[in-house]
Structure 1
Amino acid sequence: MATPLMVRSSPFWCRHCYTYQYPLNYKPFSSISYSPIKTKSFSLLNSAKMEGGTGITQEVKENLGEDLRVKKKIFVAGATGSTGKRIVEQLLAKGFAVKAGVRDLEKAKTSFSHDNPALQIVKADVTEGSVKLAEVIGDDSEAVICATGFRPGWDLFAPWKVDNFGTVNLVDACRKLGVNRFILVSSILVNGAAMGQLLNPAYIFLNVFGLTLVAKLQAEQYIRKSGINYTIIRPGGLRNEPPTGNLVMEPEDTLYEGSISRDKVAEVAVEALNLPEASYKVVEIVSRPDAPNRSYVDLFGSIKQR
């Protein structure tokens, strides 16, 4: 008879995913949010050298930890976009599994590495309806991050197809699947009319292409009424350069100017996943050189829910 495997029975803090993890013999199993451990882990455990019958080798513990970390799968819509790609990269760097939703699979092949087992690339067009989106998001995704954006062109309905109907389709797909975490990358000035910013050059410019900001605002309102746990992030002007200065986070309908690195926007979206302080909130963000350096808990915690 094989000697029974003994592992520690108390929860422990995982510094990679910022949550408590539970060992194999912890009860009840219903409290464990991760999917079953891969077969290769059991093979590794069974062949491990026992230490007095009460533990496993450090090498086995490290491999077990690797398998447990890469379990929480996040679906990213618009994954090959300038901001979406950065979100995917940061999620992978933090140990998440990612399902990257893209319209162009060929473009995705040149955008991402193919040797990362934590990355799955799937074809997903947000304009094709919630039923198809639900199929590609799947029941293995725990959250959705929407970083889509229309491509300027002659189609004046493009902003509504992508930034409005597309976002609504994603929300409806989440409701069908029971996915209860949704993060949207939107824009400052979406509610510029109510803020008295009708003559703001940025508001005028962003609405030239089919009332883009109006489309985004209506999508935001749909999310807020959906019952899903949301975080809506409204960045200022997006820069491709690395971050400079410190992050400024304000309540909705506050900021009407300023810019921010796409890398920092991606970081805010990823950090929001694990913070209760980010739930059911709309935040506006820019970077400023004179801003204090504050933690994300402090930043999100300072914004009140409406």
Structure 2
Amino acid sequence: MQNIFLAGSSRGVGREVAKLLLENEPPSVNLTVLLRNPTYAVELEALGAKVVFGDALNAAELEAAIAKVGDIDIVITTMGGLPSDRGERADCEGNKNLIDLAVKAGVQKFILVSSIGSGNSVVALAPQVLATLGAILKEKEKAEQHLVASGLTYTIIRPGGLKSEPATGNAVLTEDPTISGIIHRADVAKLVCKCVNSEKTNHKVFSAIDRNMLFKPVEFETFNF
């Protein structure tokens, strides 16, 4: 079975990814999740995940947590959120620490969930949106760049505007950085899980949107797994 390490599973897309990876009975993967807050541990352990604790913004703490895991084949991270007391964001520094440790651990693949508006997809967002989210998107872009430069086999997925509603099944990936729209977190998780065993997604950067919830009705090429 594959050994998967997931960071960012306390809520949102990460929690949905954990549910999907563990939905088979028995699970088809060994999943370890990184938590900073023990509040969420009981639910994740009930799903079948192994839980390790640590703050990704503390490189030594993160390394100690990963050392408890053993072999790791694939890392998935959806980390983000509010800055620390020192002004650091998991979007950038936490993910960079995780990337560096993945290199040391010889991880086979690293999947980073970022956001439309990062990197060359900045052109997809309206100026008023960038005025609000620009600083966060720059941090996400730094993490993306660090991953690409790391030498790891990577997949970067940039979701559009996120909603916590049931999956529609209409979500797609595209390499077109000009596309933007809405996507449900459960659909993002499905796309992430499809990338786990897809060699076609290696060294690719995607935008993830629901084809029925585009901000502008335009034609674009979707990625076929």
TM-score normalised by L of structure 2:
0.85
2:205 corresponds to 1:275:
no
TM-align CA RMSD:
2.5
Q: Structure 1's 195 and 90: CA in aligned 2 closer, same or farther, altered over 3 A? A: same
Q: Which residue of 2 aligns with 1:105?
A: 38
How far apart are the structure 1 equivalents of 2:209 and 2:20? Answer: 19
2:219 corresponds to 1:289:
no
How far apart are the structure 1 equivalents of 2:55 and 2:99? Answer: 14
Q: Which secondary structure does the structure 1 equivalent of 2:116 belong to? A: coil
Residue 245 of structure 1 and its aligned partner are, at CA, apart by: 5.7
AA in 2 matched with 1:88: A
Q: Which residue of 2 aligns with 1:128?
A: 58
* Structure 1 segments of 4+ aligned residues over 6 angstroms from their partners: none
Q: Which residue of 2 aligns with 1:243?
A: 167
Q: Which residue of 1 aligns with 2:132?
A: 205
2:194 corresponds to 1:264:
no
How far apart are the structure 1 equivalents of 2:204 and 2:224? Answer: 8
Consecutive unaligned residues in structure 1, runs of 5 or more: 1-70, 292-297, 302-306
TM-score normalised by L of structure 1:
0.64
Aligned residues with identical type, % of pairs: 31
How far apart are the structure 1 equivalents of 2:35 and 2:169? Answer: 32
AA in 1 matched with 2:61: K
Give yes or no for contact 2:78–2:112 (8 Å, CA) kept in 1.
yes
How far apart are the structure 1 equivalents of 2:102 and 2:169? Answer: 36
Q: Structure 1's 201 and 290: CA in aligned 2 closer, same or farther, altered over 3 A? A: closer
Q: Which residue of 2 aligns with 1:96?
A: 29
Once the two structures are superposed, residues 247-300 of structure 1 have per-residue CA deviations (whole angstroms, 9 ceiling, x without a partner) of 232215222x31101011111111101011110100001102399xxxxxx825
Instruction: Number of aligned residue pairs: give it.
Output: 213
Larger Rg: 1
AA in 2 matched with 1:212: I
Q: Which residue of 1 aligns with 2:217?
A: none
How far apart are the structure 2 equivalents of 1:127 and 1:276? Answer: 30
AA in 2 matched with 1:215: E
Residue 243 of structure 1 and its aligned partner are, at CA, apart by: 2.1
How far apart are the structure 2 equivalents of 1:259 and 1:86? Answer: 17
Consecutive unaligned residues in structure 2, runs of 5 or more: 215-221
